[in-house]
């Protein structure tokens, strides 16, 4: 039995294809952490715009629980990349990582 299909997530961020990395080190030499578009959107809505998880879920067309799971993973990835000097790569969900 195949897994349940993903619900479409409405994202306004158009930052994909870019990277955030430490200066002075070529991207090819860094370990890369992929931050997907929905994860970046959840961070933007909750942390930058100050929306509650419920409000962010309504904007993205998903449940509050889904937003909570997405934002927890996004915060972990971001913290790991920043503290360990890794590159944070912004990608679309449908692009190969």
How confident is the model at residue 84, as a pLDDT? 96
Mind spelling out the 3-state secondary structure of the chain? Answer: CCCCCCCCCCCCCCCCCCEECCCCCCHHHCCEEEEEHHHHHHHHHHHHCCCCHHHHHHHHCCCHHHHHHHHHHHHHHHHHHHHHCCEEEEECCCCCC
pTM for the predicted model, two decimal places: 0.79
Domains in the chain: ranges and CATH: 30-91 (1.10.10)
Summarised one tens digit per residue, pLDDT across range 4-15 is 666 555 555 566
Summarised one tens digit per residue, pLDDT across range 50-95 is 999 999 999 999 999 999 999 999 999 999 999 999 999 988 765 5
How much is the average pLDDT of 11-38? 84
Using pLDDT thresholds of 50, 70 and 90, give the confidence band for residue 34.
Answer: very high
């Amino acid at each position: 039995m195949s897994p349940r299909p993903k619900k479409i997530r409405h994202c306004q961020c158009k930052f994909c294809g870019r990277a955030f990395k430490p200066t002075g080190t070529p991207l090819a030499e860094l370990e890369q952490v992929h931050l997907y578009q929905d994860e970046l959107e959840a961070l933007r809505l909750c942390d930058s715009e100050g929306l509650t998880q419920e409000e962010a879920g309504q904007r993205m067309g998903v449940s509050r629980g889904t937003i909570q799971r997405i934002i927890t993973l996004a915060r972990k990835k971001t913290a790991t990349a920043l503290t360990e000097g890794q590159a944070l790569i912004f990608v679309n969900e449908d692009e190969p990582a």
